[in-house]
Amino acid sequence: MANWYVLNTKPRKESQVESLLTQAGFNVYLPRYRQDSTIKPFFPGYLFLKFNYPRDYQKIVYTRGVNKIVGNGQVPEPVEPEVISCLKAREKNGLIELMKYGDDPQPGDEIQVMEGPLKGLKGVFYRELSDRQRVMILLNYVSYQGPLLIKKNRIKKIKSSEEKEQSHSGRRARPRVPPG
């Protein structure tokens, strides 16, 4: 059965990989957006591919421009079809519409990812990177806790670092009950 997977491409090879895999008969989705007058991949270095694992695995990984299929280190991890439909729903004329969400977060602020495949996940704003378009957040998700680079206009500040400190200091410690 065919599932959607995320392919990691070599730098700036997303369109080449899209073309090669489309010609080979695969269902490929490369979300794009417009920045100024340039059309760019929404996830630089990544695209989505629907294929049958393990049957088509070798064809995919040996396609020119493919770096790897994203997975857990052992096998590729499928992507829920809702992720693809959510991304496609954001498109107008084949391009994803970008939005900005509220105030700019500061280091330590709690944020929520507002779009993309990580939509709804919460984390802590860590720092802004030099091009002022990307930010680093510390993502808290199930058993994964680590840094993630994401475009700044995909996140929304939900709680400032000061509000977080106040909510933590306002909690009372539970009395310790001795065993037995």
110-167: CATH number: 2.30.30.30
Residue 74 has pLDDT above 60, yes or no: yes
- Encode pLDDT of 122-150 as tens digits: 888 777 765 556 666 666 554 455 667 77
The stretch 70-85 carries a mean pLDDT of 93
Say what the pLDDT of residue 109 is.
Answer: 84
> Does 2-96 match 110-167 in CATH topology?
no
- Beta pairing, strands 110-113 & 122-128: antiparallel
Homologous superfamily of the 2-96 domain (CATH): NusG, N-terminal domain (3.30.70.940)
- Encode pLDDT of 146-178 as tens digits: 667 777 777 888 887 776 566 655 554 444 444
**Domain boundaries, given as residue ranges, for the chain:** 2-96, 110-167
DSSP state, 53?
Answer: T
- Encode pLDDT of 78-113 as tens digits: 999 999 999 999 898 999 877 667 777 888 888 888
How many CB atoms lie under 10 A from the CB of residue 153? 16
The stretch 53-58 carries a mean pLDDT of 97
CB contact set of 32 (below 8 Å; sequence gap of 6+) = 39, 40, 41, 42, 94, 95, 96
The stretch 25-47 carries a mean pLDDT of 93
Residue 70, classed as helix, strand or coil, is coil
Q: How confident is the model at residue 6 (pLDDT cuts 50, 70, 90)?
A: very high
Q: Is 148 exposed, middle or buried (0-12, 13-18, 19+ CB in 10 A)?
A: middle
Share of the chain above pLDDT 90, in %: 45
